[in-house]
């Protein structure tokens, strides 16, 4: 297939996780951490990450590495991106999306067409306000777990990853 294949250049792994940090900036793990949600998003282990991509088509290999949080992924401009793969392998054809819901442990491959966007930047967000009440990461339902210390991002839209499009030519 004619897809971006230069690993780390136009073919990028993106591991999304929510974590909780102590005052000493160490990961906080609860006993039996299943279902634990954090208030800080890390991408590939980095807080407040950004990614520089060249204009042209770029491939992101997404993994929801969170213990419990569901993400409703989309571009801040509501522009279309294309899903080409999932946990089950390649899709028969690219699927045009403005949102991609990802449960814990789920994988997806998407294409971003950045042709003609050199010098611009945008953010990939989680539109968690669109998740259903009580869904992990959505608006908290009655009787649900308490918010994590340090802030609650459940039911809010928040940034995952800033994309900075370089000024170079298309790839």
**Can you tell me the mean pLDDT for 11-32?**
84
Least confident stretch, 11-20, 34-43, 64-73: 34-43
What was the pLDDT predicted at 132?
87
For the chain, the average pLDDT equals 89
Query: What pTM was estimated for this model as a whole?
Result: 0.88
Compute φ and ψ for 47, nearest 5 degrees.
-85, 140
- Residue 40 pLDDT exceeds 60: yes
What was the pLDDT predicted at 171?
42
**Can you tell me the mean pLDDT for 71-100?**
96
Question: What percentage of the chain carries pLDDT values higher than 70?
Answer: 87
Per residue in 87-134, pLDDT (tens digit) is 999 999 999 999 999 999 999 999 999 999 999 999 999 999 999 887
């Amino acid at each position: 297939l004619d897809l971006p294949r230069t690993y780390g250049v136009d073919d990028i792994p993106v591991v999304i996780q929510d974590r909780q940090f102590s005052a000493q900036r160490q990961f906080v793990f609860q006993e039996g951490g299943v279902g634990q949600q954090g208030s800080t998003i890390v991408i590939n282990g980095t807080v407040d990450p950004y990614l520089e991509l060249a204009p042209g088509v770029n491939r992101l290999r997404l993994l929801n590495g969170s213990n419990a949080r569901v993400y409703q992924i989309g571009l801040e401009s509501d522009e279309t991106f294309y899903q080409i793969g999932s946990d089950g392998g390649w899709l028969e054809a690219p699927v045009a999306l403005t949102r991609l819901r990802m449960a814990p442990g789920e994988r997806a491959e998407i294409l971003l067409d950045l042709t003609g966007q050199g010098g611009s930047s945008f953010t990939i967000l989680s539109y968690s306000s669109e998740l259903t009440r009580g869904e992990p990461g959505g608006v908290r339902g009655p009787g649900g777990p308490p918010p994590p210390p340090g802030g609650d991002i459940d039911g809010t839209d928040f940034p995952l990853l800033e994309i900075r499009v370089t000024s170079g030519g298309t790839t």
